[in-house]
């Protein structure tokens, strides 16, 4: 068992973890941040995507112990307790979610993608190829993200 200290959604967290504890289980069950979802635990479905030091990564492919000293942001950090972000509102307007299980992972990856510039529709679809959604047929999701590009480059 090892002590780790990391920042999660802006708050410093200190916990004792076994090396094998997955970051997803740490976030969900140790910290109660259940917005990050688990769909496969082998890195394919993308539901577990979070930001690690500002960059989108698969939570199920990371050990909690590896995040020691890092900054983790989950879907709960997007709007905190305030109004929905522009990206989240766009999802709502475009009906880009149905069951909502894949949504947090996609929101985090899209947040990362939009922060890097102005992706084309093809680049958005390519980013989305790393995420499984079985409800929407993807087009509304691409529309929702694309609608957030025609601003000044920030999301």
For the bound state, the minimum distance from the C-beta of residue 152 to other proteins, rounded and expressed in Å, comes to: 21
CA distance 130 to 111: 14
- For residues 45 and 150, which CB has a smaller minimum distance to other proteins in the complex? 45
Helix ranges (DSSP H) in the chain: 23-25, 76-79, 86-93, 103-115, 121-128, 139-146
- For residues 19 and 153, which CB has a smaller minimum distance to other proteins in the complex? 19
Indicate the SS3 state at residue 137: coil
Q: What's the gap between Cα 20 and its chain centre? A: 22
For the bound state, the minimum distance from the C-beta of residue 154 to other proteins, rounded and expressed in Å, comes to: 19
Across 9-148, the runs of DSSP E, i.e. the strands, are 11-17, 49-52, 55-58, 71-73
For the bound state, the minimum distance from the C-beta of residue 16 to other proteins, rounded and expressed in Å, comes to: 13
For the bound state, the minimum distance from the C-beta of residue 53 to other proteins, rounded and expressed in Å, comes to: 10
CA nearest 136: which of 109, 106, 114, 112? 106
For the bound state, the minimum distance from the C-beta of residue 12 to other proteins, rounded and expressed in Å, comes to: 19
- For residues 132 and 149, which CB has a smaller minimum distance to other proteins in the complex? 132
CA distance 52 to 110: 14
Tokens encoding 96: 């880009």
């Amino acid at each position: 068992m090892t002590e780790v200290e990391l920042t999660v959604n802006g708050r410093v967290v200190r916990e004792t973890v076994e090396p094998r504890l997955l970051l997803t289980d740490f976030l969900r069950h140790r910290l109660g941040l259940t917005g990050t979802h688990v769909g496969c635990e082998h890195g394919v479905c993308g539901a577990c995507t979070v930001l690690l030091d500002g960059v989108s990564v698969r939570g199920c492919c990371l050990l909690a112990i590896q995040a020691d000293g890092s900054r983790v942001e989950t879907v709960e950090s997007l709007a905190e307790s305030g109004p929905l972000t522009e990206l989240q509102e766009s999802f709502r307007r475009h009906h880009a979610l149905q069951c909502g299980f894949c949504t947090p992972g996609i929101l985090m990856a899209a947040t990362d993608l939009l922060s890097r510039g102005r992706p084309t529709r093809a680049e958005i679809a390519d980013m989305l190829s790393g995420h499984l959604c079985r409800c929407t047929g993807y087009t509304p999701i691409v529309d929702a993200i694309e609608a957030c590009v025609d601003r000044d480059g920030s999301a």
